[in-house]
Structure 1
């Protein structure tokens, strides 16, 4: 039986879990006031709506969140790739109506499976092209562009009776480390940081966003603690008049787990002003994950809160305040039920992408077949950037070769080029870091020397320095993006003339 303090802690906890059915421990905790759950790719199956119904039956106030950004990040289409435009594509197009309608479509899909919180849009201004974890998840590198698209996406999501959660406050765009594995420190001039990186979050707060997610980053001018654990940073949101829910990024990320631990992180995040603690994806440890990793991580967070309540390092009033904010969001979503905008029957994601995907130069005459060399970086915990569905959708019946330029010898890389050139189609180099990865660029240069009629499909940030081959700038590692690039290369439609920009 859950005791009083455990039940209080349950009201601010948001765990992930293993499997496509709710485990017994999760149902028990939901009945004892657990705030809800976050869905990850391993939870998504044909019975997802039934899973949501079971969760809501155990706790009708449960918040069910989904990391559904479109583009390179999807959970609902984790096995096949997203069929919705991503932020960089929308930012490059700079059509606010398209962004708002895409937000509404994401909300419609989330609501259709019984969930009620979209963990997006990304409000980070991606000013560091080396950024390994944000990149094309951002609308761009200009704070004004990012701000207006964040507001449009929030409006689209929340008009569809789903909560939006902008992320990752106070801004993860000027980092070159991934907080899933490290604790990034931003040494940017503080006046510039405040002017550029805070602006989209201010705009979202003014637009009435329901929730804001924290970042596990350190801004030395504001103290040594990561933002998630820093009362000065989280206090800024309240000073702006934000009265919604502050949600932590996952506490199982290395920036927290390997410093203060999940339990210590949970207690310190609450003390700093967070309201809802995202515990994380229990599959993240990979082969080291235990069969009950989900419950272990949940208990680590809850036990950390209860210990802090008992030793006085965390006040009961702070946890009650946090739980009240979470409950207020649940009540707001219940009141919105049935009032959301109707599904947009005219929404056409492919038409949006045909305007957003551009080329740097005249494409070679189509051959009817694409032979793809996939040289993208390895996947991260946030983005399944190297997923096979991208190269599969691009090549279809052509050949495919996977080349990890970080580990493959030049001999092996050249062999893959030779085999693609020897085939009867168009050689396609699939890349995602043309400016930040010298090995990817070198592969393209060697392919150009061997086959001047080869082409590049770039699913990362648009190349700032021209490549020696015509380049299709897709700006997302998604199935739909790959399908649109294939249409272009097969001559099925003419590309727009405007070259995309992240400004």
Structure 2
């Protein structure tokens, strides 16, 4: 049995925590000295000189892996304050040009490399077959397996050509769920045959493209028993059997699907036992008002100490953790030194314009301040980008009126409808399927002001009247939608 210091170093080699602030806290420096696998950057970490912070982390621990959720479109950490200027997966799926997707992947990788990070936690390889999905949606390339497969592979090639690692997510597919695993445990009702046919191929495509890492999903299915995929050796064993020999990374262990059932510590032990290699602990700001000043260190220690105890008791084999740590170290070696080659200038606007779809007859639209009535629901915890900048870009200095479509009464809707009839107005939506609250409010506004234009930044959906679809809650998508309005 290893000595205590050796055991701590071994366990640290499979842990990937978040931290608070834009400077390295003391506990993190100590953990890096003791072999910590690295860190995950979230928005709250990026307000200072991030490249200098990354350099400090790498000086402290040259093999430390710095990861970041930078998907483009609706999910950005680098551009949280402004909204993303990189196309998102749904936009790329609409365009269906694998060269554009590979170029976008390279641009994401280049930006991540520029701040000194090593792992892009993307692309999303989920096939979004359930339009009610609250957490994937426009983060996916689409709802067709062949489309998602070819664009997942292209994104992996682009990201990794920039010299950083890609991490395809969320195995074995989070696209056919209608529960957000940040809040509860989603359950699939698909047969194993349906999962095999429709949701696994994009991960095989990522493997064939040489992806360094694949992230698990906190989802369950009756045929797997009670354990979600992240904690399920049968599910993760299938990933290995299908030929993936890179790093299996867990989705965040502080998400409710894990934390409220087995806890961060229990999740850490069970994920390793199931075959995971690198444990993403999560964003310490997620508890919100309940967050403690040292929440980051607390979460890290819970995971570390639980694994140490499990090894000491014999519950978790030392060899399994050593195997996992070895894979993580091998990935760290693979992303250094950088190998990015010169590329042609990246034209994000062109891709975004190609992704716009116009339905119905657009009214004359002037380049002037515009009233925006924003009916969108609150973002999920996965999407901490500045979605408010979508409305700001569309308004161009005009008024922004926010309505909770789920709770708005007739008087409130009637009042904004009157305002909409008196000025150039956009109704901003991201879910206008038949029967949704946003569709009901949009139809009510149009009954009073029939010439309003709906701008849909969610999944494409049919709605009567003029609709401009630009599928991403991003600055880039909003600007493309406004250009489309001005062009008609």
2:141 to 133, 139, 142: 139
The residue aligned with 1:339 is: 339
Partners of 2:8 and 2:465 lie apart in 1 by: 60
Which runs of no fewer than 5 residues in structure 1 stay unpaired?
495-503
* Contact 2:268 2:279 survives alignment (8 Å): yes
**1:383 maps onto 2:383 in alignment:** yes
- Given the alignment of the two structures, is residue 51 of structure 1 paired with residue 50 of structure 2, yes or no? no
- Within 5 Å, give how 1:183-202 maps onto structure 2: 183-202=185-204
How do 1:402-441 residues align onto structure 2 when only pairs under 5 Å count?
A: 402-423=402-423, 426-435=424-433, 438-441=436-439
- The question of whether the paired residues in 1 share the 8 Å contact of 2:272 and 2:321 is answered with yes
Query: What aligned pairs does 1:223-262 form with structure 2 within 5 A after superposition?
Result: 223-262=225-264
CA RMSD of aligned residues (A): 1.4
Q: Of residues 161, 171, 174 in structure 1, which corresponds to 2:173?
A: 171
The one of 261, 275, 278 equivalent to 2:277 is 275
Aligned to 2:374: 374
Relative to the length of structure 2, the TM-score reads 0.97
After TM superposition, give the deviation of residue 79 of structure 1 in Å: 1.2
- Size of the aligned set, in residue pairs, is 485
Contact 1:129 1:436 survives alignment (8 Å): no
- The equivalent position to 2:98 in structure 1, one of 96, 99, 102, is 96
The 1-side partners of 2:191 and 2:386 are apart by: 34
Report the CA distance between 1:224 and its aligned residue: 1.6
Q: What SS class does the counterpart of residue 166 from structure 2 fall into?
A: strand
TM-score, normalization by structure 1: 0.94
Q: Is the 8 A contact 1:89 1:353 kept in 2?
A: yes
Separation in 2, partners of 1:450, 1:407: 20
2-side partners of 1:437 and 1:385: how far apart? 28
CA offsets per residue over residues 429-481 of structure 1, 9 Å max, x none? Answer: 10001117621001111121111211000010000xx3122111111000111
Choose which of 280, 296, 299 in structure 2 pairs with 1:297. 299
- Cα distance, 1:385 vs. partner? 7.2
Cα deviation code 1:309-350 (max 9, x no counterpart): 11111000000000000000011111xx242222x3421100
Q: Say whether the 8 Å CA contact 2:413–2:445 is kept in structure 1.
A: no
CA distance in 2, matches of 1:220, 1:52: 43
Cα distance change of structure 1 residues 10 and 437 upon mapping to structure 2, 3 Å threshold: farther
Structure 1 stretches (4+) deviating beyond 3 angstroms? none
Q: Does 1:362 align with 2:358?
A: no
Matches within 5 A, 1:463-478: 463=461, 466-478=462-474
Deviates more, 1:359-368 or 1:254-263: 359-368
Find 1:21's aligned residue among 20, 23, 28: 23
Q: Deviations over 1:338-370 (max 9, x none)?
A: 42222x342110011111111112211113332
Q: Is the CA contact (8 Å cut-off) linking 1:373 and 1:417 kept in structure 2?
A: no
Structure 2 matches for 1:53-72, cutoff 5 A? Answer: 53-72=55-74
Aligned twin of 2:453: 455
Is it true that 1:218 corresponds to 2:220 in the alignment? Answer: yes
Contact 1:151 1:204 in 2 (8 A): yes
- Mapped contact 1:163–1:211 kept (Cα < 8 A): yes
- Deviation string for 1:352-411 (max 9, x for gaps)? 111111111221111333210000001110114773111001102111101111222221
Secondary structure of 1:3's counterpart equals: helix
Gaps of 5+ in 2: none
Q: 2:312 maps to what in 1?
A: 310
- Alignment pair present for 1:160 and 2:162: yes
Offset, 1:46? 3.7
Query: Secondary structure, in 3 states, of the residue corresponding to 1:109?
Result: helix
